[in-house]
Structure 1
Amino acid sequence: MAGILKKTLQSLANLLPGREQRSSNDEIKEISEPYFGELQQYGCDGCGNRIEEGSKRYNCDDCPDSFDLCQSCYEKGEIVDEHVRNFDHLHTFTCETRSNAAIVREVMAEGTLEEILLRMFRCYADRPAIGTYIESRQRYEYISFKVLEQLVTSFAMSLYHVMSTSHAHLLGTNHTPLIALCSVVRLEWYIADYACALIGIPSVGITASSDKETISFILSQTETPLVVCSQDKLSIFASLASNGDTPGLKHIIVMDLNEGEDVAIMTGSVPPVGVTIWRLTEFLKKGKDQLINIASFKTDPEQIYTIAYTSGSTGTPKGCVFSRSLWLKHILSPSTIGFMGIKRIWFSFQPPSHMMERESFHMTLLGGYKAGIYRGTIEHLFDDMRMVRPTVITSTPRFFLTIYNKYQQALLEEYRQYLSKQDKPVSQTGTDEPPSPDSLDLSQAPYEVKDIVKDRFNEYFGGRERLIGVGGAAVPPPLIQFLSRVFNGLVQDGYGTTEAGGIAGGGYTYSGVHVKLRDVPEMGYLTTDIPPRGEICVKTDTMISGYYKNTKDTDEKFQDGYFCTGDIGTVDSIGQVTIIDRKKNIFKLSQGEFVAPEKLENIFENGSRLIEQVFIHGSIWRDGVIGLVVPHKDALEKWWIENNTIEEDSSVPDIKDLCTLRPVVDLFLSELRRVGEKHCLPGWEIPSSILLEPNPFSQENKLLTCTLKKSRPQLELRYREELERLYEEPSGDKKTSIKRSIEDNVMIHLISVMKNNGIPIPPSCSLSKYSTDDAPPINVSLTLTQMGGDSLAAMFLSNLIQDELGVAVPALKILKEPLSSLFYFVVSQISPSKALEFKDSPFSSQTGHASFESGPGRNDAEINWQRETSIHFLHVSSSVTKLSDRDDIPRELDDEERSEEVTKKENLTDDQIKILLTGSTGFLGRFILWNLLNSEKCGLVYCLCRGDNGKERLLNILKKLQVELSEMKGDKQGGGVEEKRRGKESSFSKMVSKLVVLSGDLGLVRLGLSEGDYNLIAREVDVVIHNGANVNHVLSYTDLKPTNVTSTKEILKLCSERIKHKYLHFVSSIGVLIEGGDETTEVKKDRLRHCSGYCQSKWVSEQLVLGAIDNGYIKGSLSRPGLIGAHSVTGHLNRTDWFYLLVCGLYHLKAYPSEWGTGKTLVIPVDTVAQAVVALSLNRISESNGLVYHLDNRESVVNFNDIIRSLEKAGPDSLKHQGNQMYSQLLLKWDRLHLSLSPSPLTCV
């Protein structure tokens, strides 16, 4: 057990921030300290000797994994030459005599902003700082921190001299004039930015894409006397000065105005009177001549550092005021410093006026790392990125969605080519016609096809990204999945605002962030909803105090110490925040319905390959919305080619012409309707008429802001007349676009059920309103909440049932209980005599969803456990039979009945056992699957996976397990590297050749399988291992029943199918034993209320299995694993398990409750549990029928003190020094410390 614990802790240690594993072997050669640790040891990557503190160490500036050489190896040159030859880009070395941690600690020591910046320049003097593309050499070259300091100092001295001539009395005060910076990201922008920071002159960033009106507004509000801009913006500023719109403007410094260029030509007119226009080169030269000590400047921490204007997507931009002390909190906050454990190589391509970009740039240089700046032309963006090869990339969803769309198109083409090469290419509609884009489901693309496309894309960012951050807008889940699957870095979706700073990452709020929800009744969002919903209001340490010269908006947005974000969010039971809507852009329709256009636009843009951009328009005078749609050019052209006959000498019409054609308009109306119905949108939220726009919204045409959000005022202004005409001349049949609400659909199916089962319908019911013609199928095992409904929908449905059927049903019951319980309750109230007969009738032949087996819902404390454990569903089922009643021998499947995938499996003998495994992607399930596939006794293994990419997920998991096992056990294969690789691939291919993945869902009838797949496993499978479950110790029994209990019933039906009986091994939990005991201990029902919902669901499932065995329906056995720990060889662990989270928490807190000192726990390795489950399942010992096996490790107990001592040994050297060892505290104090460092839960008011 001690060895297992060591492996677990070592795996945990490798995941801690700031730790790098320098060796590919299983032994950790060197581990660097956490970012602010006391010691940091280095080993020479040439000779392997230790490099002592104080000795010269030559570090490669370009390698994300530290590459260090001692002085001797560096001076020899051979190793340096070999290292550089291994790469196709420049690698340089910097000589250091101190550890990086010591240098960083000195830079970030307490001080003012200017003191920290001066220490940064001095301590990192010889390191590369900022890189730009050199056209003549066609590569990036970097200036050092020393050169950067010289440029910044020269600019600062010249700036101080110029400003002091007219504003000397204001310099150094809270009334110091602001200067404006306006250009795309470039070196000169940051030279000016750092110069302002050094001498205490506030700056305001103006986005280069801002129009003249916005620039005029900002200059007038800030009364800016000096502007630093790029040459392409000079004419705007000169024009504003000439027209008298900015009377305070006296100086314009042009970043890229060369010697000899005519200022008049550049300004587009006569230079404005009273305004001096400087070339940056001469401005810098002037600064060199100033005899002022830059270190002599002292500033007030509360003085303004910068004003950042919001993008103005809904109107006039607002200026966010950042003091110098507040800016330090941003760039030195725990949420940002935590990422410095990564060797940060930054690629700057977003507007520097955007605070996320500016903050990231400053953080990079403060850590002593380097940043490359793109050359400013969008067509070279990815070429530049591949040269810089950043390790950290952050941007908006819009940026990453562009890449995602390209990936989807490439995958579509590759999949079509793959299908065309098959012996009998068919479309997924079952016809012999070549597949079209509309008929292909990309989720069904084979693993090898996705791999080919993935290889093309994973170098998009340079190939060495360690962290990919997505934020600034709502992030579609498919985008996160795409980035995680295709690229190499950890993907983190972030949430924050300019006003408040970082709020949450991965859905969880950062430490020190306080969040509450505020009712938005006009949109129907209330904190009393289930789950609570409302406007997200936050209080953070990095929050601004208000907007610049804007009392009205400050009072509106900052209330009671909280900033009101305008985002509508919800919070689940574990405190995870989810953005569901936006408040500020809503409008009301004539019938009183509120519409949030941004939410609809995200749904339509992410739901169709044909749609690139959508703008939703509506007003109080209209009863529905209309839309402006930008088609995806390539996708539309392909659709046209495939659906129209084109002569050889003709070509595809131009995109502008296509947008005017009626069939194309109808195509997009149909596409919008399809996507809307898929997301259960009501009819008024699906555009009834549309205008097709061939030109995408962009920053160039002013229809996107600098943060790539839609500029709604500009869109309204440009397209208002055309959009209004759509209301008068509808482009489609409005009636066909109407979509019923969720409550209407539930009512339709309830009445349909009653009709089909002979239940009398009250005369007062308006039957004509509830036609099933346009009603989509529903899953009655789900609750209304799981279907997307909310408390408002539950109230409407409750009223409908009362008005139409005369049955009173509490809205809360509708919200929490499965629809099957609701239907049964309604029927039992109308016709009690029919209720029992109705209980086991399928509600619709066309949907094939679950039977009605649960009665009226009730609180968990009032659950009728006798009814829950009844196997009445087996007694009345016509498809199952007892073992003693079998008088038939199952026939073999015909070729037509056997799936194509199964017929391709080779080298399987008749005596091999065919297995169905549930829960194969879980922590235990993956190791059960691994053992099954490697067992000679086992034949085909059918795995039930939810979603369309189940096979891909399983193959990824198995590949990872193979790599871990081969690395830890050592490579004993002979031959060369290529021969070993082929051997591993062959072994892996042979193993997975027995794998068959079926798409299903444990919570659905027949396990969510298609009729063909269900019949297949009913005939083929010999043994079922039911391991799948929703493992959640917070949810109630009612919440877990659809997945954990209903699935067991469906498994029992499958195992007792008349066609072929199957042996069942059910994986339960030791947690069903409330007060301990052995395998024969009986759990009393009256003690169940002390169990968690999870243990209750496992106990009920156990009783169902044992009842089926006792009544002769099946043969089987049960196992109850205890606390499952890491793999005994690889250390592979469950990162969501409480034990893992506890150990991580102890390590980070450096504290534990003293009361735990004598505690003990039992842990059993996951591989041991998996081997036992497989052995019990494959052996199918007749004597084991109905027996329960406890899989627990009572021979070896882990003491809590052993965990603490092991953590100290697993930690870096700094933990062994006095003052840093783990210490005990009283439990109360420990709880307080834990709460102070944990993400704060959302609170509702």
Structure 2
Amino acid sequence: MASTSPISIATPNASRASKFDYSIQSIAVPGTKRPGQTAHYRNALYGLVDVSVLPTLPDVFDNGYNINPDSKLLGHRPLVSTNPLKFGPYVWQTYKQVDGRRHRIGSALHRLFSQGELQGEDLQTVGIWSVNRPEWQLVELALHAYNKVGVGLYDTLGKDSVEYIINHAHLSIIFTMVDHIPALLKIAPKVAAMKMIVSFNNLSQDARKALVAWGETVGVQVKEFSEFEKYGEEHLMPPIPILPDTVASLCYTSGTTSQPKGVVLTHGNLASSAYSNMFGMEYSPNTSVLSYLPLAHIYERVVELTTLAIGGCIGFSTGDNLRLLEDVQMLKPHFFPAVPCVLNRVYQSAMAAGNVPGLKGALFRAAVRAKLDQYHATGVSTHAFWDALVFWKIRAVLGGNLLLVSTGSAPISAKVIDFLKIALFCEITEGYGMTENCGVCTHTFKADFNCGGTIGPPQPVNELKLVDVPSMNYTVEDKPNPRGELCVRGPNCFTRYYKDEKNTRDTLQDGWIHTGDVAEVDPQGRFKIVDRVKNIMKLAQGEYVALEKIENMYIACPLVQQIFVHGDSLQSYLLAVLIPDPVTLASASPSPNDQPPYMNLNNSLPGSTTVRT
């Protein structure tokens, strides 16, 4: 049974928000400014919260459990037909049912490690390689309660990255989907640590027999999830006491330019991040969130921890991106975490559907103008007439019940943010974070209706500062706004990369994470990412260019779905690989004379297009 949690749903100072002066969102701590650095900035509404007694991840679960053990927690859509492919409505497991299952799974893991069938190196690590599904969270919650270290692997990882992480993290057991089992067994001779694979899927008799036999030839046991859970039930034991500085997770970065780095995150790091997100939340228990962003990524992980902490429920998508809207409309979530590419698609689809010739288009444009004018003047995002006539259709696409949409991981334009606020008439927050600070660093305030294009003030658990980047001509004395590398510290910040002292020293300096992002802070105390440290290169003619800035310029065009800009210092030009948005491109069908002057598409066929800039 869950225990009493130290986390309070009624976060401190929540009542102050209605009286807050949003023209001052960050406070510069007196006496902290140094040459080449700004002062330390703190959240002006909540200050720097006291986390001297940090919660742990079992506390996060217990907080939701103690609100109502019988309320729903994990939901999924069962497969009801394969031809045609069809999924049913959501079915749910309650907090009480999940509590029992995490004990069984955790007991099985602990016994296997204790008996030596599974072996860690310096940490007892457990891998999860799967799309989002209830079993992912069941294993993760079991790891939290039984002092094991979770290692999430992106479902789309290639063979080399999977092999590297298994060896680097010394994974002796991996929970996965049936589709990944052959790939794991093929690399088994190269990953000596791996001793057991547990399939989330039930296996047919023939498949089970074949996979078990294959596993025996390479020294790896293959089991089904139900079999593993039954073993835990036969050897049930109570959870293991956890301390805030106990390691909870190795969260590997994407490794796009080098080998993935394993970010060591403790219970205190992750739990304080969820706690920080609760400040200003006004959502009741049973608030639902759609889980579709990868759980191996820190953003989705902390979103779901926060949902647990407030007694909410998590509905998992089918894992098929083409069915995402179907999942949304079936779940009707209150909270929709997103990334800019998803929200840009919503924006582009809405504009394409509404901005058409004739009366329909005229009404849409009038509605947009009227609501934007009202929102910028008053902060009110609802309008009885225009919502009933126009915007309810857009809101219904995402289920019709949204209270909060969050976005992060990449820039998004203020124009898109403001449109979504009036089209969905719910809170839209833009935030900033990284794996190294558990995805929590800054986010915008709900009541700040002119925050588009910024990432808001520091989170309540964090302090921020800017440091000069002289090689890029960014200084904290710049006018009108100070600019420099963004640095952050707080209880949510990591203390090391796993087995990687050099990168740890480069990133952590004097207790501050040097993010590698260049930011500025405006007169209201809101931060804005403007560049990337060292993300500049020199072309053959001696010209310095910032690749990310060029990508951000192109990505603002509705025709562009994805773009990658590449430079070679031996050449005088850049190359870009561009993927047009097929829906927008097909509906626009522009002639060469209609193309924007900054676009130079070599062809108009969907797919990859090479562009010389």
TM-score (norm 1): 0.40
Equivalent in the alignment of 1:759: none
Residue of structure 2 in register with 1:416 after alignment:
357
Question: How many residues are aligned here?
Answer: 533
Aligned counterpart, 1:457: 394
Determine the structure 1 residue equivalent to 2:488.
Answer: 538
Residues 128-164 of structure 1 deviation map (CA, whole Å, 9 limit, x = unaligned): 1111113448211211112112221121122122222
Match of 2:560 in 1: 611
Q: Deviations over 1:438-482 (max 9, x none)?
A: xxx968988699975533211122111111111111121111112
CA contact (8 A) 2:185 2:218 kept: no
Which amino acid letter does the alignment assign opposite residue 391 of structure 2? K
CA contact (8 A) 1:629 1:692 kept: no
Q: Which amino acid aligns with 2:528?
A: T
Tell whether 2:202 aligns with 1:252.
no
Q: State whether residues 55 and 244 of structure 2, in contact with CA within 8 Å, keep that contact through their aligned partners in structure 1.
A: no
**Contact preservation (8 Å) 1:628, 1:691:** no
Report the Cα offset of residue 552 of structure 1: 1.6
What is the one-letter code of the residue matched to 1:184? Answer: V
Partner of 2:575: 626
Partner of 2:263: 320
CA distance 1:485–1:266, shift in 2 (3 Å):
farther
Q: How does 1:65-104 map to 2 (within 5 A)?
A: none
Conserved 8 A contact 2:212-2:221: no
Q: Which amino acid aligns with 1:35?
A: A
Relative distance call for 1:221 and 1:389 in structure 2 (3 A) is same
Which structure 2 residues correspond to residues 208-247 of structure 1 after superposition, within 5 A?
A: 208-241=155-188, 244-247=189-192
Cα distance change of structure 1 residues 443 and 261 upon mapping to structure 2, 3 Å threshold: farther
Where does 1:796-835 land on structure 2 (aligned, <5 Å)? none
Q: Deviations over 1:405-443 (max 9, x none)?
A: 11121123xx21438999xxxxxxxxxxxxxxxxxx968
SS at match of 2:103: helix
Paired residues of 2:90 and 2:315 also in contact (CA < 8 A): yes
Q: Secondary structure at the match of 1:234?
A: helix
| Residue deviations 1:602-651 (CA, integer Å, cap 9, x gap) | 22121x333333222222122232322222323433454x75xxxxxxxx
1:482 maps to amino acid: F
| 3-state DSSP of counterpart to 1:235 | helix
After the TM superposition, which residues 238-317 of structure 1 pair with which residues of structure 2 at under 5 Å, given as runs? 238-241=185-188, 244-263=189-208, 272-290=217-235, 292-295=236-239, 297-317=240-260
Match of 2:478 among 489, 510, 529: 529
Alignment of 1:196-211 (within 5 A): 196-211=143-158
* Contact preservation (8 Å) 2:464, 2:487: yes
Which residue identity is paired with 1:618? Answer: G
How far apart, in 2, do the equivalents of 1:35 and 1:202 lie?
A: 30
Show the 5 A alignment for 1:576-655.
576-606=526-556, 608-640=557-589
- The residue that corresponds to 1:1103 in the other structure is none
Report the CA distance shift for 1:572/1:300 in structure 2 as closer, same or farther (over 3 A): closer
1:862-1011 correspondence to structure 2 within 5 Å: none
Q: What SS is found at the alignment partner of 1:459? A: helix
Confirm or deny that 1:695 pairs with 2:607. yes
Secondary structure of the 2:477 match is: coil
1:419 and 1:468 map into 2 onto residues whose CA distance is 27
Q: Distance in 2 between matches of 1:420 and 1:482?
A: 16
Q: What amino acid is aligned across from residue 197 of structure 2 in structure 1?
A: I
- Separation of aligned partners in 1, 2:458 and 2:77: 38
Counterpart of 2:140 in structure 1 is 193
- In structure 2, distance between residues paired with 1:451 and 1:122: 39
Q: AA paired with 2:477? A: T
- Tell me the distance in 2 between the aligned counterparts of 1:184 and 1:420: 40
Matches within 5 A, 1:359-378: 359-378=302-321
Please give the residue correspondences for 1:731-880 in structure 2 after superposition, counting only pairs within 5 Å: none
Code of the aligned partner of 1:467: L
Which ranges in structure 2 are unaligned for 5 or more consecutive residues?
1-7, 13-52, 81-86, 371-384, 445-455
Q: Which residue of 2 aligns with 1:1056?
A: none
Q: Give the superposition deviation at 1:508.
A: 1.6
- AA paired with 1:142? W
Q: Does 1:511 align with 2:460?
A: yes
3-state SS, counterpart of residue 433 of structure 2 = strand
Change (3 A) 1:380 1:420: closer
Paired residue type of 1:221:
H
1:341-356 equivalences under 5 Å are 341-343=283-285, 344-356=287-299
Q: Secondary structure at the match of 1:278?
A: strand
Residue deviations 1:537-568, cap 9 Å, x none? 12222100121111121111111221111111
* CA displacement 1:310-365 (0-9 Å, x = unmatched): 222333221111112322222223x3354254442221111111122112212222
CA contact (8 A) 2:11 2:278 kept: no
1:380 equivalent to 2:329? Answer no
The alignment yields a C-alpha RMSD, in angstroms, of 3.3
Partner of 2:452: none
Equivalent of 2:419 in 461, 473, 482: 482
Question: CA contact under 8 A between 1:396 and 1:471: conserved in structure 2?
Answer: yes
Q: Which amino acid aligns with 1:631?
A: P
Deviation at 1:269, TM superposition (A): 6.6
Of Structure 1 and Structure 2, which has the larger fraction of its residues in helix?
1
Is the 8 Å Cα contact of residues 129 and 177 (structure 2) preserved in structure 1?
yes
Alpha-carbon distance in structure 2 between the residues aligned to 1:119 and 1:336: 12
1:1193-1231 residue CA offsets vs partner (Å, 9 max, x unmatched): xxxxxxxxxxxxxxxxxxxxxxxxxxxxxxxxxxxxxxx
CA contact (8 A) 1:523 1:594 kept: no
Q: Whose radius of gyration is greater, 1 or 2? A: 1
1:565-584 aligned at under 5 Å gives the runs 565-584=515-534
Deviation at 1:287, TM superposition (A): 1.3
Q: Does 1:145 align with 2:95?
A: yes
- Taking the TM superposition and a 5 Å limit, the aligned residue runs for 1:1216-1227 are none
Q: 1:341 to 1:532 in 2, by over 3 A?
A: same
| Displacement of 1:488 | 2.5
Partners in 2 of 1:372 and 1:124 — Cα distance? 18
- SS of match in other structure, 1:298: coil
SS across alignment from 1:307: strand
Cα distance in 2, alignment partners of residues 638 and 392 from structure 1: 31
- Does residue 129 of structure 1 match 2:129? no
Query: What is the deviation of 1:217?
Result: 1.2
Whole-Å separation in 2 of the counterparts to 1:409 and 1:223: 50
Name stretches of at least 5 consecutive residues in structure 1 with no aligned partner.
1-32, 38-108, 423-440, 644-662, 676-686, 697-718, 732-736, 738-1245
Structure with greater proportional strand content = 2
Matched position secondary structure for 2:281: helix
Q: Distance in 2 between matches of 1:228 and 1:420?
A: 51
**Cα separation, 2, equivalents of 1:134 and 1:408:** 34
Paired amino acid for 2:113: M
Q: CA deviation at 1:513?
A: 2.4
| Contact persistence 1:216–1:246 (CA under 8 A) | yes
Shift of 1:254: 0.7
User: Cα gap change, 1:526/1:277 in structure 2, threshold over 3 Å: closer, same or farther?
Assistant: same
Larger RCO (CA under 8 A, 6+ residues apart): 2
Instruction: Give the aligned residue type for 1:597.
Output: L
Change (3 A) 1:584 1:312: farther
Equivalent residues in 2 for 1:703-714, closer than 5 Å: none
Deviates more, 1:199-208 or 1:355-364: 355-364
Matched residue SS, 1:326:
helix
What is the CA–CA distance in structure 2 between the aligned matches of 1:446 and 1:267, rounded to whole Å?
A: 63
Q: Matched residues in 1 for 2:396 and 2:529: separation? A: 31
What is the aligned-residue identity percentage? 24
How far apart, CA to CA, are the structure 2 residues paired with 1:636 and 1:153? 52
Note if contact 1:130-1:187 (Cα within 8 Å) is conserved in structure 2: yes
